[in-house]
Structure 1
Protein backbone atom coordinates (compact mmCIF):
# COMPACT_ATOMS: atom_id res chain seq x y z
CA UNK A 1 0.00 0.00 0.00
CA UNK A 2 1.44 3.39 -1.03
CA UNK A 3 2.08 6.00 1.66
CA UNK A 4 -0.25 8.50 -0.04
CA UNK A 5 -3.12 5.98 0.17
CA UNK A 6 -2.28 5.29 3.83
CA UNK A 7 -2.53 8.99 4.69
CA UNK A 8 -5.81 9.22 2.78
CA UNK A 9 -7.29 6.17 4.53
CA UNK A 10 -6.45 7.53 7.98
CA UNK A 11 -7.60 11.04 7.03
CA UNK A 12 -4.37 12.77 8.06
CA UNK A 13 -2.05 15.12 6.09
CA UNK A 14 1.36 13.96 4.88
CA UNK A 15 3.10 16.09 7.51
CA UNK A 16 1.13 14.51 10.36
CA UNK A 17 3.07 13.41 13.42
CA UNK A 18 3.06 9.84 14.71
CA UNK A 19 0.74 10.94 17.53
CA UNK A 20 -1.72 12.38 14.98
CA UNK A 21 -1.60 9.10 13.06
CA UNK A 22 -2.24 7.09 16.25
CA UNK A 23 -5.26 9.25 17.15
CA UNK A 24 -6.74 8.85 13.66
CA UNK A 25 -6.10 5.09 13.69
CA UNK A 26 -7.80 4.57 17.06
CA UNK A 27 -10.83 6.58 15.97
CA UNK A 28 -11.27 4.61 12.72
CA UNK A 29 -10.49 1.26 14.39
CA UNK A 30 -13.35 1.85 16.84
CA UNK A 31 -15.62 2.95 14.01
CA UNK A 32 -15.00 -0.03 11.72
CA UNK A 33 -14.34 -2.81 14.27
CA UNK A 34 -16.26 -5.98 13.17
CA UNK A 35 -17.65 -6.49 16.68
CA UNK A 36 -19.36 -3.09 16.47
CA UNK A 37 -20.55 -3.58 12.87
CA UNK A 38 -21.83 -7.16 12.85
CA UNK A 39 -24.52 -6.29 10.30
CA UNK A 40 -22.04 -4.71 7.88
CA UNK A 41 -20.24 -7.38 5.79
CA UNK A 42 -17.63 -4.82 4.65
CA UNK A 43 -16.62 -3.75 8.16
CA UNK A 44 -13.88 -6.37 8.39
CA UNK A 45 -12.33 -5.19 5.11
CA UNK A 46 -12.44 -1.53 6.22
CA UNK A 47 -10.92 -2.45 9.60
CA UNK A 48 -8.12 -4.42 7.92
CA UNK A 49 -7.34 -1.55 5.52
CA UNK A 50 -7.11 0.91 8.42
CA UNK A 51 -4.79 -1.47 10.32
CA UNK A 52 -2.57 -1.95 7.26
CA UNK A 53 -2.39 1.83 6.64
CA UNK A 54 -1.43 2.49 10.28
CA UNK A 55 1.27 -0.20 10.30
CA UNK A 56 2.76 1.10 7.04
CA UNK A 57 2.92 4.70 8.29
CA UNK A 58 4.28 3.63 11.68
CA UNK A 59 7.06 1.56 10.05
CA UNK A 60 7.82 4.41 7.63
CA UNK A 61 8.06 6.88 10.52
CA UNK A 62 10.47 4.60 12.36
CA UNK A 63 12.62 4.21 9.24
CA UNK A 64 12.77 7.98 8.70
CA UNK A 65 13.85 8.53 12.32
CA UNK A 66 16.65 5.96 12.02
CA UNK A 67 17.88 7.61 8.80
CA UNK A 68 17.81 11.04 10.44
CA UNK A 69 19.82 9.85 13.47
CA UNK A 70 22.33 8.09 11.23
CA UNK A 71 22.81 11.24 9.11
CA UNK A 72 23.29 13.41 12.22
CA UNK A 73 25.91 11.00 13.64
CA UNK A 74 27.84 10.96 10.36
CA UNK A 75 27.73 14.76 10.10
CA UNK A 76 28.91 15.14 13.72
CA UNK A 77 31.87 12.82 13.20
CA UNK A 78 32.80 14.59 9.97
CA UNK A 79 32.73 18.03 11.60
CA UNK A 80 34.78 16.80 14.56
CA UNK A 81 37.51 15.46 12.27
CA UNK A 82 37.72 18.52 10.01
CA UNK A 83 37.02 21.36 12.46
CA UNK A 84 39.95 23.72 13.25
CA UNK A 85 41.18 23.99 16.84
CA UNK A 86 38.96 26.19 19.02
CA UNK A 87 40.08 29.81 19.54
CA UNK A 88 41.43 30.86 22.93
CA UNK A 89 38.82 31.64 25.51
CA UNK A 90 37.95 35.26 26.10
CA UNK A 91 36.00 36.50 29.06
CA UNK A 92 33.21 38.93 28.47
CA UNK A 93 29.88 39.85 29.91
CA UNK A 94 27.47 36.92 29.46
CA UNK A 95 24.65 37.64 27.03
CA UNK A 96 21.28 38.40 28.49
CA UNK A 97 18.71 35.60 27.90
CA UNK A 98 15.98 36.34 25.40
CA UNK A 99 12.46 36.48 26.80
CA UNK A 100 10.59 33.22 26.32
CA UNK A 101 7.64 33.34 23.98
CA UNK A 102 4.82 30.93 24.72
CA UNK A 103 3.37 29.40 21.59
CA UNK A 104 -0.01 27.74 21.84
CA UNK A 105 -0.61 24.92 19.38
CA UNK A 106 -4.17 23.85 18.71
CA UNK A 107 -4.82 20.44 17.21
CA UNK A 108 -7.43 20.44 14.48
CA UNK A 109 -9.61 17.35 14.43
CA UNK A 110 -10.26 15.99 10.97
CA UNK A 111 -13.73 14.47 11.00
CA UNK A 112 -13.88 13.63 7.29
CA UNK A 113 -14.48 9.94 6.61
CA UNK A 114 -11.56 8.96 4.31
CA UNK A 115 -13.35 5.92 2.93
CA UNK A 116 -16.55 7.78 2.02
CA UNK A 117 -14.53 10.59 0.43
CA UNK A 118 -12.60 8.20 -1.85
CA UNK A 119 -14.89 7.24 -4.78
CA UNK A 120 -12.70 4.35 -6.00
CA UNK A 121 -12.37 2.77 -2.57
CA UNK A 122 -16.07 3.21 -1.86
CA UNK A 123 -16.93 1.58 -5.22
CA UNK A 124 -14.67 -1.38 -4.45
CA UNK A 125 -16.21 -1.94 -1.01
CA UNK A 126 -19.75 -1.62 -2.39
CA UNK A 127 -19.03 -4.20 -5.10
CA UNK A 128 -17.45 -6.59 -2.60
CA UNK A 129 -20.55 -6.29 -0.44
CA UNK A 130 -22.70 -7.06 -3.49
CA UNK A 131 -20.64 -10.19 -4.23
CA UNK A 132 -21.12 -11.38 -0.65
CA UNK A 133 -24.87 -10.79 -0.87
CA UNK A 134 -25.06 -12.71 -4.15
CA UNK A 135 -23.21 -15.65 -2.59
CA UNK A 136 -25.66 -15.68 0.33
CA UNK A 137 -28.53 -15.79 -2.21
CA UNK A 138 -26.70 -18.58 -4.12
CA UNK A 139 -26.65 -16.48 -7.31
CA UNK A 140 -23.24 -17.83 -8.19
CA UNK A 141 -23.23 -17.05 -11.93
CA UNK A 142 -24.03 -13.38 -11.31
CA UNK A 143 -21.46 -13.24 -8.50
CA UNK A 144 -18.79 -14.61 -10.85
CA UNK A 145 -19.62 -11.96 -13.47
CA UNK A 146 -19.37 -9.18 -10.87
CA UNK A 147 -16.12 -10.37 -9.30
CA UNK A 148 -14.44 -10.96 -12.68
CA UNK A 149 -15.38 -7.41 -13.65
CA UNK A 150 -13.82 -6.19 -10.41
CA UNK A 151 -10.57 -8.06 -11.14
CA UNK A 152 -10.26 -6.12 -14.38
CA UNK A 153 -10.89 -2.75 -12.70
CA UNK A 154 -8.89 -3.47 -9.52
CA UNK A 155 -6.09 -5.85 -10.61
CA UNK A 156 -3.71 -7.28 -8.00
CA UNK A 157 -5.99 -6.15 -5.15
CA UNK A 158 -5.86 -8.73 -2.28
CA UNK A 159 -9.54 -8.36 -1.32
CA UNK A 160 -10.72 -8.83 -4.91
CA UNK A 161 -8.41 -11.81 -5.46
CA UNK A 162 -9.67 -13.46 -2.26
CA UNK A 163 -13.38 -13.10 -3.10
CA UNK A 164 -12.86 -14.12 -6.72
CA UNK A 165 -11.30 -17.40 -5.57
CA UNK A 166 -14.02 -17.90 -2.93
CA UNK A 167 -16.73 -17.35 -5.55
CA UNK A 168 -15.20 -19.94 -7.86
CA UNK A 169 -15.03 -22.43 -4.98
CA UNK A 170 -18.64 -21.84 -3.88
CA UNK A 171 -19.87 -22.36 -7.45
CA UNK A 172 -17.83 -25.57 -7.79
CA UNK A 173 -19.46 -26.95 -4.62
CA UNK A 174 -22.90 -26.32 -6.13
CA UNK A 175 -21.82 -28.03 -9.36
CA UNK A 176 -20.67 -31.11 -7.43
CA UNK A 177 -24.06 -31.36 -5.74
CA UNK A 178 -25.71 -31.24 -9.17
CA UNK A 179 -23.40 -33.96 -10.53
CA UNK A 180 -21.54 -31.65 -12.96
CA UNK A 181 -18.14 -32.98 -11.97
CA UNK A 182 -16.13 -31.88 -15.01
CA UNK A 183 -17.32 -28.27 -14.77
CA UNK A 184 -16.78 -28.29 -10.99
CA UNK A 185 -13.21 -29.44 -11.51
CA UNK A 186 -12.57 -26.50 -13.87
CA UNK A 187 -13.74 -23.94 -11.31
CA UNK A 188 -11.80 -25.60 -8.51
CA UNK A 189 -8.61 -25.23 -10.54
CA UNK A 190 -9.56 -21.61 -11.24
CA UNK A 191 -9.84 -20.99 -7.50
CA UNK A 192 -6.37 -22.43 -6.91
CA UNK A 193 -4.85 -20.39 -9.73
CA UNK A 194 -6.55 -17.15 -8.62
CA UNK A 195 -5.39 -17.23 -4.98
CA UNK A 196 -2.54 -19.75 -4.67
CA UNK A 197 -1.26 -18.28 -1.38
CA UNK A 198 -4.52 -18.95 0.49
CA UNK A 199 -3.65 -22.15 2.37
CA UNK A 200 -7.08 -22.66 3.90
CA UNK A 201 -8.76 -22.35 0.51
CA UNK A 202 -6.16 -24.63 -1.08
CA UNK A 203 -6.93 -27.31 1.52
CA UNK A 204 -10.67 -27.19 0.81
CA UNK A 205 -10.15 -27.15 -2.97
CA UNK A 206 -7.81 -30.17 -2.88
CA UNK A 207 -10.32 -31.99 -0.67
CA UNK A 208 -13.09 -31.35 -3.23
CA UNK A 209 -10.83 -32.43 -6.11
CA UNK A 210 -10.20 -35.71 -4.28
CA UNK A 211 -13.95 -36.05 -3.73
CA UNK A 212 -14.57 -35.60 -7.48
CA UNK A 213 -11.95 -38.24 -8.21
CA UNK A 214 -13.71 -40.72 -5.93
CA UNK A 215 -17.10 -39.96 -7.51
CA UNK A 216 -15.68 -40.53 -10.97
CA UNK A 217 -14.24 -43.89 -9.93
CA UNK A 218 -17.57 -44.99 -8.53
CA UNK A 219 -19.34 -44.17 -11.78
Structure 2
Protein backbone atom coordinates (compact mmCIF):
# COMPACT_ATOMS: atom_id res chain seq x y z
CA UNK A 1 0.00 0.00 0.00
CA UNK A 2 1.41 3.40 -1.00
CA UNK A 3 1.95 6.02 1.67
CA UNK A 4 -0.46 8.49 0.04
CA UNK A 5 -3.18 5.86 0.14
CA UNK A 6 -2.48 5.31 3.86
CA UNK A 7 -2.96 9.02 4.62
CA UNK A 8 -6.19 9.01 2.60
CA UNK A 9 -7.59 5.94 4.39
CA UNK A 10 -6.88 7.44 7.81
CA UNK A 11 -8.22 10.85 6.77
CA UNK A 12 -5.14 12.83 7.83
CA UNK A 13 -2.94 15.28 5.86
CA UNK A 14 0.56 14.42 4.68
CA UNK A 15 2.10 16.64 7.37
CA UNK A 16 0.17 15.00 10.21
CA UNK A 17 2.11 14.10 13.35
CA UNK A 18 2.30 10.53 14.63
CA UNK A 19 -0.07 11.50 17.47
CA UNK A 20 -2.63 12.72 14.89
CA UNK A 21 -2.21 9.49 12.92
CA UNK A 22 -2.61 7.36 16.05
CA UNK A 23 -5.77 9.24 17.09
CA UNK A 24 -7.30 8.84 13.61
CA UNK A 25 -6.42 5.15 13.59
CA UNK A 26 -8.03 4.50 16.97
CA UNK A 27 -11.20 6.32 15.91
CA UNK A 28 -11.51 4.33 12.66
CA UNK A 29 -10.56 1.04 14.35
CA UNK A 30 -13.45 1.47 16.78
CA UNK A 31 -15.75 2.52 13.94
CA UNK A 32 -15.03 -0.48 11.69
CA UNK A 33 -14.33 -3.16 14.33
CA UNK A 34 -16.07 -6.39 13.19
CA UNK A 35 -17.46 -7.04 16.66
CA UNK A 36 -19.35 -3.72 16.51
CA UNK A 37 -20.41 -4.02 12.84
CA UNK A 38 -21.61 -7.62 12.67
CA UNK A 39 -24.34 -6.66 10.18
CA UNK A 40 -21.88 -4.95 7.80
CA UNK A 41 -20.03 -7.50 5.62
CA UNK A 42 -17.54 -4.80 4.51
CA UNK A 43 -16.50 -3.79 8.03
CA UNK A 44 -13.85 -6.51 8.39
CA UNK A 45 -12.12 -5.44 5.16
CA UNK A 46 -12.24 -1.75 6.15
CA UNK A 47 -10.85 -2.64 9.57
CA UNK A 48 -8.01 -4.61 7.95
CA UNK A 49 -7.13 -1.77 5.53
CA UNK A 50 -7.09 0.79 8.36
CA UNK A 51 -4.73 -1.45 10.33
CA UNK A 52 -2.49 -1.92 7.30
CA UNK A 53 -2.37 1.85 6.64
CA UNK A 54 -1.47 2.52 10.26
CA UNK A 55 1.34 -0.05 10.18
CA UNK A 56 2.81 1.50 7.01
CA UNK A 57 2.82 5.01 8.52
CA UNK A 58 4.37 3.68 11.73
CA UNK A 59 7.19 2.18 9.68
CA UNK A 60 7.61 5.46 7.80
CA UNK A 61 7.82 7.37 11.09
CA UNK A 62 10.39 4.89 12.43
CA UNK A 63 12.45 5.19 9.23
CA UNK A 64 11.96 1.52 8.29
CA UNK A 65 10.73 2.35 4.77
CA UNK A 66 11.07 5.47 2.54
CA UNK A 67 8.26 8.00 2.64
CA UNK A 68 7.99 8.60 -1.11
CA UNK A 69 5.26 6.78 -3.02
CA UNK A 70 7.66 5.23 -5.53
CA UNK A 71 7.76 1.45 -5.36
CA UNK A 72 11.27 0.07 -4.74
CA UNK A 73 12.97 -1.36 -7.81
CA UNK A 74 12.58 -5.08 -8.25
CA UNK A 75 15.62 -7.01 -7.27
CA UNK A 76 17.14 -9.28 -9.82
CA UNK A 77 18.61 -12.64 -8.96
CA UNK A 78 22.27 -13.02 -9.69
CA UNK A 79 22.89 -16.35 -11.32
CA UNK A 80 25.81 -18.29 -10.02
CA UNK A 81 28.41 -19.39 -12.56
CA UNK A 82 28.07 -23.06 -13.44
CA UNK A 83 30.34 -25.31 -11.48
CA UNK A 84 32.59 -27.65 -13.44
CA UNK A 85 31.34 -30.69 -11.54
CA UNK A 86 27.64 -30.36 -10.69
CA UNK A 87 26.54 -32.08 -7.53
CA UNK A 88 23.19 -32.42 -5.68
CA UNK A 89 24.26 -29.81 -3.11
CA UNK A 90 23.81 -26.71 -5.36
CA UNK A 91 20.19 -27.76 -6.04
CA UNK A 92 19.16 -26.97 -2.43
CA UNK A 93 19.10 -23.11 -2.60
CA UNK A 94 16.17 -22.96 -5.09
CA UNK A 95 14.11 -25.08 -2.70
CA UNK A 96 14.45 -22.36 -0.04
CA UNK A 97 13.01 -19.62 -2.28
CA UNK A 98 9.39 -19.87 -0.98
CA UNK A 99 10.60 -19.49 2.62
CA UNK A 100 10.80 -15.62 2.70
CA UNK A 101 7.15 -15.25 1.66
CA UNK A 102 6.09 -17.59 4.46
CA UNK A 103 8.08 -15.57 6.99
CA UNK A 104 6.55 -12.35 5.68
CA UNK A 105 2.99 -13.63 6.10
CA UNK A 106 3.80 -14.82 9.60
CA UNK A 107 5.11 -11.36 10.46
CA UNK A 108 1.93 -9.74 9.18
CA UNK A 109 -0.15 -12.01 11.39
CA UNK A 110 1.94 -11.06 14.41
CA UNK A 111 1.52 -7.35 13.65
CA UNK A 112 -2.24 -7.67 13.36
CA UNK A 113 -2.44 -9.50 16.67
CA UNK A 114 -0.37 -6.79 18.38
CA UNK A 115 -2.63 -4.04 17.03
CA UNK A 116 -5.75 -5.76 18.30
CA UNK A 117 -4.15 -6.21 21.71
CA UNK A 118 -3.38 -2.51 21.86
CA UNK A 119 -7.10 -1.79 21.47
CA UNK A 120 -8.13 -4.00 24.38
CA UNK A 121 -7.87 -1.33 27.14
CA UNK A 122 -10.45 0.87 25.38
CA UNK A 123 -12.79 -1.97 24.50
CA UNK A 124 -12.66 -3.56 27.98
CA UNK A 125 -12.93 -0.32 29.98
CA UNK A 126 -16.15 1.46 28.88
CA UNK A 127 -15.70 4.15 31.55
CA UNK A 128 -12.31 5.16 30.14
CA UNK A 129 -13.68 5.16 26.61
CA UNK A 130 -16.61 7.37 27.72
CA UNK A 131 -14.28 9.88 29.37
CA UNK A 132 -12.01 10.11 26.33
CA UNK A 133 -14.95 10.53 23.97
CA UNK A 134 -16.41 13.30 26.14
CA UNK A 135 -13.07 15.12 26.33
CA UNK A 136 -12.80 15.00 22.54
CA UNK A 137 -16.33 16.38 22.39
CA UNK A 138 -15.32 19.32 24.61
CA UNK A 139 -12.29 20.07 22.42
CA UNK A 140 -14.44 19.98 19.29
CA UNK A 141 -16.98 22.36 20.86
CA UNK A 142 -14.19 24.81 21.73
CA UNK A 143 -12.95 24.72 18.13
CA UNK A 144 -16.49 25.55 17.00
CA UNK A 145 -16.68 28.34 19.65
CA UNK A 146 -19.74 26.72 21.24
CA UNK A 147 -18.56 27.72 24.70
CA UNK A 148 -21.87 27.51 26.56
CA UNK A 149 -22.42 23.92 25.43
CA UNK A 150 -18.80 23.04 26.20
CA UNK A 151 -19.20 24.40 29.74
CA UNK A 152 -22.32 22.28 30.27
CA UNK A 153 -20.53 19.15 29.08
CA UNK A 154 -17.36 19.68 31.10
CA UNK A 155 -19.27 20.54 34.29
CA UNK A 156 -21.21 17.29 33.90
CA UNK A 157 -17.90 15.46 33.52
CA UNK A 158 -16.59 17.12 36.70
CA UNK A 159 -19.50 15.64 38.64
CA UNK A 160 -18.78 12.19 37.21
CA UNK A 161 -14.95 12.39 37.47
CA UNK A 162 -14.29 14.85 40.33
CA UNK A 163 -10.60 13.90 40.75
CA UNK A 164 -9.59 13.43 37.11
CA UNK A 165 -6.70 15.81 36.26
CA UNK A 166 -7.68 15.76 32.55
CA UNK A 167 -11.22 16.86 33.35
CA UNK A 168 -9.98 19.60 35.70
CA UNK A 169 -7.61 20.87 33.01
CA UNK A 170 -10.25 21.10 30.30
CA UNK A 171 -12.82 22.60 32.64
CA UNK A 172 -10.37 25.40 33.47
CA UNK A 173 -9.48 25.87 29.80
CA UNK A 174 -13.18 26.08 28.87
CA UNK A 175 -13.83 28.72 31.54
CA UNK A 176 -10.79 30.70 30.35
CA UNK A 177 -11.80 30.56 26.67
CA UNK A 178 -15.32 31.72 27.48
CA UNK A 179 -14.00 34.50 29.74
CA UNK A 180 -11.72 35.74 26.96
CA UNK A 181 -14.64 35.72 24.52
CA UNK A 182 -16.74 37.77 26.97
CA UNK A 183 -13.97 40.38 27.18
CA UNK A 184 -14.08 40.77 23.40
CA UNK A 185 -17.87 41.09 23.58
CA UNK A 186 -17.56 43.83 26.22
CA UNK A 187 -19.26 41.76 28.96
CA UNK A 188 -16.59 42.49 31.51
CA UNK A 189 -18.38 41.47 34.72
CA UNK A 190 -19.25 38.02 33.33
CA UNK A 191 -15.74 37.71 31.96
CA UNK A 192 -14.27 38.33 35.43
CA UNK A 193 -16.50 35.60 36.92
CA UNK A 194 -15.38 32.93 34.44
CA UNK A 195 -11.72 33.94 34.58
CA UNK A 196 -11.76 33.49 38.35
CA UNK A 197 -13.48 30.12 37.87
CA UNK A 198 -10.65 29.05 35.59
CA UNK A 199 -8.08 30.19 38.15
CA UNK A 200 -9.76 28.29 41.00
CA UNK A 201 -10.44 25.13 38.98
CA UNK A 202 -6.84 24.32 38.02
CA UNK A 203 -4.52 26.50 40.14
CA UNK A 204 -1.51 24.22 39.53
CA UNK A 205 -1.54 24.93 35.79
CA UNK A 206 1.11 27.68 35.72
CA UNK A 207 0.76 28.56 32.06
CA UNK A 208 -3.02 28.87 32.26
CA UNK A 209 -2.85 30.86 35.51
CA UNK A 210 -0.41 33.29 33.91
CA UNK A 211 -2.80 33.95 31.02
CA UNK A 212 -5.83 34.27 33.32
CA UNK A 213 -4.08 36.69 35.67
CA UNK A 214 -2.96 38.80 32.73
CA UNK A 215 -6.56 39.10 31.51
CA UNK A 216 -7.75 39.94 35.02
CA UNK A 217 -5.18 42.75 35.17
CA UNK A 218 -6.51 44.06 31.88
CA UNK A 219 -10.03 44.05 33.33
CA UNK A 220 -8.93 46.16 36.29
CA UNK A 221 -7.88 48.89 33.87
CA UNK A 222 -11.33 48.98 32.28
CA UNK A 223 -14.56 50.26 33.85
CA UNK A 224 -16.89 47.32 34.47
CA UNK A 225 -20.23 47.95 32.79
Please report the TM-score for the alignment, with normalisation by the length of structure 2: 0.49
Residues 28-70 of structure 1: CA distance to partner in whole angstroms, max 9, x if unpaired? xxxxxx93232649x8xxxxxxxxxxxxxxxxxxxxxxxxxxx
Pick one of 158, 162, 169 that aligns with 1:162.
Answer: 169
The question of 1:201 aligning with 2:208 is answered yes
User: Displacement, 1:117?
Assistant: 2.0
The question of 1:141 aligning with 2:148 is answered yes
Any residues of structure 2 matched to 1:3-152 within 5 Å, and which? 35-38=17-20, 40=23, 111=117, 112-152=119-159
Which secondary structure does the structure 1 equivalent of 2:186 belong to?
Answer: coil
Q: CA separation in 2, counterparts of 1:36 and 1:115?
A: 19
User: Displacement, 1:192?
Assistant: 0.6
CA RMSD of aligned residues (A): 2.4
User: Displacement, 1:170?
Assistant: 0.1
Task: Name the counterpart of 1:153.
Answer: 160
Deviating runs (4+, > 3 A) in structure 1? none
Residues 139-189 of structure 1: CA distance to partner in whole angstroms, max 9, x if unpaired? 000000000000000111000000000000000001000100000000000
Task: Name the counterpart of 2:94.
Answer: none
Q: CA separation in 2, counterparts of 1:116 and 1:36?
A: 22
User: Displacement, 1:205?
Assistant: 0.3
Which secondary structure does the structure 2 equivalent of 1:216 belong to?
Answer: coil
The question of 1:183 aligning with 2:177 is answered no
The question of 1:192 aligning with 2:174 is answered no
Q: CA separation in 1, counterparts of 2:126 and 2:144?
A: 27
Which secondary structure does the structure 1 equivalent of 2:223 belong to?
Answer: helix
Q: Give the number of the structure with larger relative contact order, counting CA–CA contacts within 8 Å between residues 6 or more apart.
A: 1
Q: CA separation in 1, counterparts of 2:204 and 2:17?
A: 27
Structure 2 stretches lacking a partner, 5+ long: 1-15, 27-112
Q: CA separation in 1, counterparts of 2:213 and 2:223?
A: 15
Structure 1 stretches lacking a partner, 5+ long: 1-33, 44-107
Paired positions, count:
120
User: Displacement, 1:138?
Assistant: 0.2
The question of 1:174 aligning with 2:174 is answered no
